[in-house]
Amino acid sequence: MAERPDADRDATRSGHVPVFLERTIELFRPVVEAAAEEGRAPVIVDGTLGLGGHSSHLLAEFSDLRVLGVDRDPEALDMATRRLTAYRDRFTPVHARFDDFDSVIAALPPDARDDAGPAIDGILLDFGVSSMQLDVAERGFAYSVDAPLDMRMDPTTGPTAADILADYPRDDIARILRVYGEERFARQIAAAIVRRRDTDPIVTSSQLVELLYDTIPQGARRTGGHPGKRVFQALRIEVNAELEAVENAVPGYLDLLRLGGRAVFMAYHSLEDKIVKRELATRTASRTPAGLPVELPGHGPEFEAVTRGAEKASQEEIDHNPRSASVRVRCVRRIDGRTP
């Protein structure tokens, strides 16, 4: 095992602590060992690279491992690539949304294949906003500091949160807040936004927070945390089409896993976790029609669960890294080979 790089220690001091780090390493250890027994170098895709916290530790732990690091945020990708300079021979950065499979497959090493085509040994998807995006005020993700309402993970493309508040119909804004943020006062907030935007458009986080305090009844604000938490989450999900990406990514990466390969999914709210849970339930179930007394050949489960349901962070990890408090981690292993 290699020594942890100085960049990791610097990142830890700056507040970037990877969630479920040691458990993630142990979940991927069997696929690395299996590849070594087969005389090949394993490939893991870190589909949500961020600042490269998980990837740096995986590369340090496993000397033969190759990692593709995918991120839609060019600034995060650049910072992570510089952080991982020591592993440049085994690390490939990919500027793309994590469900952009054309870009991911194009970046795979030529030998990352099995009989069915391009294949990987592992996929890590740590959903949600990265530490850098939360901590850099001008990105507009945080409700606790005043900044332009941007919230784009890739700031080079697409509408901002301010654009949504300025252009979406009232009913669409209410739906976003209700569905993505589980906000009880979605209808009232949407109406207040529409009333105000013709004369005083909401373009900063402080303006939106002020409107929330004016709209949400004082009694309701005493419970459930800061009134901006749910609203900012909902807008971020809409701006970045996060649930659409999750819907595409979970089955797509499962299809890329070779026999014995593992997928690790980290979800931070129920909407993401429901998507993961639903797809894994399908993939770990028998495909034999109900009522038959025996399993039909070729109709067994494609995957088996490695974790029992969703694993949660221990209190010790939460104390060390509060961002792990809401994480739900699920892992599966491919047990049925892919069809060419």
Contacts of 257 (CB under 8 A, 6+ apart): 119, 120, 121, 122, 123, 263, 334
* Token representation of residue 78: 């650049």
| Residue 71 assigned to a binding site | yes
Contact 43, 109 (CB under 8 A): yes
- CA dist 302 → 105, 125, 168, 283, 299 (Å): 21, 20, 42, 6, 8
The HSE-up count of residue 251 (CA atoms within 13 Å, CB side) is 9
Q: How many helices (H) and strands (E) does the chain have?
A: 14, 9
| Residue 315 assigned to a binding site | no
| Residue 269 assigned to a binding site | no
Contact 42, 31 (CB under 8 A): yes
| Residue 115 assigned to a binding site | no
What letter does residue 201 receive in the DSSP assignment?
-
User: C-alpha angle with apex 71: 22 to 15, nearest 5 degrees?
Assistant: 50
Residue 255 CB neighbours (<10 A): 15
| Residue 261 assigned to a binding site | no
| Residue 225 assigned to a binding site | no
β-partners of residue 114 are: 117
| Residue 54 assigned to a binding site | yes
Distance, in Å, from the CA atom of 193 to the CA atom of 221, rounded to the nearest integer, reads 19
- End-to-end, the C-alpha distance of the chain in Å comes to 36
* Token representation of residue 297: 């050949």
* Token representation of residue 84: 């991982």
Q: Which residues are annotated as a binding site?
A: 52-54, 71, 98, 126, 133
Q: Which residues are annotated as a binding site for S-adenosyl-L-methionine?
A: 52-54, 71, 98, 126, 133
